[in-house]
């Protein structure tokens, strides 16, 4: 996945708190196991919200309420948001697993103080575009900078285009290879399947 590149776009405001993963991606669609095309199921039970999102031009930035993405750990919720074009979400707080799933799938989940977010939401509703700078952890709108926070490891992953697995390989690949070489020499019976293949 490509690393994060700063961008400017309009935002969609969803002020409701406690929007859980079942609202984002209803459970009845969990039979769909492929990531592609899941955007069509996002917020399926909230047609008014989808209509408002479409009228806003389907912007890639979501300004959400507190505890966004709470509930079950279904990664489908993040996949569906990605599928509908969401690249960044800002909220006062997130469901912890949801936030991690966002980082693993290239979506910025930025924490922002409620008062700061309310000001930004008002500006977005007035039609002002937002510029996202992940490295500097700021959103700029109408010449004003609004700070947000992303855990250091998530920011590193997003900037580099890593997920959890590729991050481990990038940071510790040489150590893993050295361990495997040593283990092949000291415990070759653990590698018999590889030799038989």
pLDDT in tens, 35-73: 899 999 999 999 999 999 999 999 999 999 999 999 998
Q: Mean per-residue pLDDT for 133-142?
A: 97
The confidence band for 164, taking pLDDT boundaries of 50, 70 and 90, is: confident
Write down the pLDDT at residue 196. 52
User: Using 50, 70 and 90 to split pLDDT, how confident is the model at 94?
Assistant: very high
Domain spans, the chain: 7-161, 162-192
Under 8 Å CB-to-CB from 42, ≥6 apart: which residues? 24, 25, 50, 80, 81, 83, 84
The superfamily (CATH) of domain 7-161 is Aconitase, domain 4 (3.20.19.10)
H-type alpha helices, the chain: 21-24, 47-55, 76-83, 96-104, 114-125, 152-160, 164-186, 192-196
Strand partners, 131: 8, 140
């Amino acid at each position: 996945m490509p690393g994060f590149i700063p961008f400017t776009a309009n935002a969609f405001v969803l002020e409701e708190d406690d929007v859980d993963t079942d609202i984002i991606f209803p459970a009845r669609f969990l039979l769909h196991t492929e990531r592609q095309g899941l955007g069509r199921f996002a917020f399926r039970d909230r047609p008014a919200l989808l209509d408002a999102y479409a009228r806003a031009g389907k912007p890639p930035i979501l300004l959400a309420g507190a505890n966004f993405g709470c509930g079950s750990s279904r990664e489908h919720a993040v996949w569906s948001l990605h599928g509908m074009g969401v690249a960044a979400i800002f909220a006062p707080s997130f469901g912890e697993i949801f936030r991690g799933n966002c980082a693993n799938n290239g979506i910025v989940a930025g924490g922002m103080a409620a008062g700061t977010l309310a000001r930004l939401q008002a500006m977005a509703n007035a039609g002002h575009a937002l510029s996202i700078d992940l490295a500097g952890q700021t959103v700029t709108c109408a010449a004003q900078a609004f700070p947000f926070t992303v855990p250091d490891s998530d920011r590193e992953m997003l900037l580099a285009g890593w997920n959890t697995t590729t991050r481990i390989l990038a940071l510790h690949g040489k150590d893993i290879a050295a361990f495997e070489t040593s283990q092949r020499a000291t415990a070759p019976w653990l590698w018999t399947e590889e030799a038989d293949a």
